[in-house]
Chain A
Amino acid sequence: MLSRTILRSINQSRSLYSIRCYSTGSNIRFTKEHEWIRLDQDVGTVGITDHAQKELGDIVYVDLPKVGATFKKSSAVATVESTKAASDIYSPVSGIIVDVNKDLESAPELINEGPLDKGWIFKLKLTDKSEFDTLLSKADYDKIAENH
């Protein structure tokens, strides 16, 4: 019993650490269109930034891409609808969709609650990893968001 509790707390602290790492680490990049992408080997997880979700307000609907679909960099992959309007989500890089966040279908508000973690939108396998390196660093993106 005791060991289980300890294990759990270790697991929790590890996952907390990893979230923090993902949010600020060098494996996350941004676009000026307010998407983020987190690279893990050759799979990128994509979502919208905290700044974007704040600007959009309550997200009420998410149109997800199909697993297996391929997209070129900067093409419209998904749509998020807030109470205000619909906004397209562009793929930060070229790739093939390997997973989508099905939870968003019933709980689109996850994007508001955790834009950088539980509100992720899709995962894609990169066809050209060098595209990732051309994206914005957190510091550069923050400057763009600030000037909004």
Chain B
Amino acid sequence: MMLSKSNSVNKLFLKYLQTKANNKCCFTSTNTDSLKKTSLNQLHKDLGGKMVEFCGWEMPVMYKTGVLKEHLHCRTNSSLFDVSHMAQLKIHGKDRIKFFESLVVADLEALPKGSSKLSVFTNDKGGIIDDTMITNQGDCLYVVVNAGCAEKDIAHIQSKLKQFKEKSGASDVHMEILGEQSLIAIQGPKTEEILQKLLGKSSSVDLGKMEFMTQLPMNISGIPCIVTRCGYTGEDGFEISVHSNQAQKLAEILLSCTTPKEQGILPAGLGARDSLRLEAGLCLYGHDLNEDITPIEGTLAWLIGKRRREQGGFPGANIILPQIKDGVSKKRVGVLIQGPPAREGTQIIDPITKQPIGNVTSGTLSPMTKDSISMAYVPTSLSKVGTPLTLLIRDKEVQGTVTKMPFVATNYKKI
């Protein structure tokens, strides 16, 4: 067995997490001094986090108990993830909706105040520049983008902003980068109960009535926070935006708020975050989505509302909209294998000609079902649920089946 320095083992794993499109920013440096650090950096180290480089940030890939236990704890209790490496932005001004609709496929006009929506930035070829979460805060749009894409996204928004002002004459719009805000996700079935207790009896917030994909300002043990009910695990949960100088205090409160501790919130790293999102059938940008994949190929047509389908007006609409009607030649599917995990890059071959016909974009062994689960792109003719597929894993042919996603039932809040 080849085991190089412990860092390289992590690198191997992280290569799998890393954004292909962002090779420039990921894993080029081994000098941790040059890495960006979140406000929870010291806390991760104190908690025994195994720190690795991720898209220019020093982040915990796991803690002492390991990825599997962290994963299962999130499915049964509640887990804390530091997601401060993602960039938080605000789009201000009365022309903000018109401007942002010229970048993303979402119907933002129809997005009620206090509601959030998953969307994608598209390019002129119809490919996906990044996925993003957009919230209508009433007086502005609150936008969260991926760490690995942040630099590129911000430059893209700035350049589009310039064009927008020149072209439309509409000038009342500008972008604010929330550089002083941290982002902490708490996820899992016990999260609502734990957070409600922390809010205290005097709080006017009733989490039982807070819908999934909505946002509220909250005061958590005296710390002002903006809380969105959303996540990346398939579980119910919240993402908490908090001022960086209060972030560590908040994390410590969250991690120490229940007895016995085993039933409360425990920290989880990037490893568990990846296996959780994959079980939930959620895409990882740079792997399952990239600038050469359209939302239709990525089976994300549901992100494009009726009005946007009729009116277009987002980059690449001339390519994306006809695809809704006429179909696409390849599609993202879930693949279930009784056997070894099919990692990213695993070829899918024609069982007779042995020619490659598709490939796996992420894969792991599901900690919940113990099945080998993957996302892959295959020809549309082979994308129906139940279709048998042949995969080439370490030169061995392995049989898989196209499967409906999520692989593990999601547990989002329903009212």
Contact = CB atoms under 8 A, between A and B. Distances in A.
Contacts, number: 73
B68 A60 contact: yes
B90 interface: no
Interface residues of A, number: 26
Nearest to B340: A61
B275 A84 contact: no
Contacts of B364: 60, 83
A79 B9 contact: no
Contacts of A109: 68
25 contacts: A33-B3, A34-B1, A34-B3, A35-B1, A48-B1, A52-B1, A56-B3, A57-B62, A58-B66, A58-B67, A60-B365, A60-B367, A61-B340, A61-B372, A63-B394, A84-B9, A84-B10, A84-B12, A85-B12, A85-B343, A86-B340, A87-B3, A89-B1, A90-B1, A148-B5
Contacts of A60: 68, 341, 364-365, 367
Contact of B340 (A55, A81, A148): A81
B181 to A, nearest CB: 31
B394 A79 contact: yes
Contacts of A61: 340-341, 365, 372
A110 interface: no
In the A-B complex, list the 8 residue pairs whose CB atoms are closest, starting with the nearest. Answer: A84-B13, A83-B67, A60-B365, A58-B68, A85-B12, A87-B1, A58-B66, A33-B1
A133 interface: no
A92 to B, nearest CB: 11
A148 B343 contact: no
Nearest to A62: B340
Interface in B1-41: 1-3, 5-6, 9-10, 12-13, 16
Most buried by B among A63, A83, A88, A89: A83
Which DSSP category, helix, strand, loop or mixed, fits chain B's interface?
A: mixed
Contacts of B343: 85-86
B394 A56 contact: no
Contact of A52 (B3, B66, B341, B372): B3
B113 to A, nearest CB: 41
Nearest to B364: A83
Contacts of A33: 1-3
Interface of B: 1-3, 5-6, 9-10, 12-13, 16, 62, 66-68, 271, 275, 340-341, 343, 364-365, 367, 372, 394
A60 B271 CA distance: 13
A37 interface: no
Contacts of B5: 148
Contacts of A86: 340-341, 343, 394
Given A79-B394, A83-B364, A55 B3 contact: yes
A55 B67 contact: no
Given A79-B394, A83-B271, A83-B364, A55 B6 contact: yes
A81 B343 CA distance: 10
A80 interface: yes
A52 B2 CA distance: 9
Given A55-B9, A60-B365, A79-B340, A88 B3 contact: no
Contacts of B2: 33, 87-88
Given A55-B3, A60-B68, A63-B394, 14 more contacts: A34-B1, A34-B3, A57-B66, A60-B341, A61-B340, A79-B394, A81-B365, A83-B275, A83-B364, A83-B365, A84-B271, A85-B12, A88-B2, A89-B1
Contacts of B365: 60-61, 81, 83
A82 B267 CA distance: 20
Interface string A69-111: 0000000000111011111111000000000000000000100
Most buried by A among B62, B275, B343, B365: B365
A81 B365 CA distance: 9
A102 B234 CA distance: 33
A58 B67 CA distance: 7
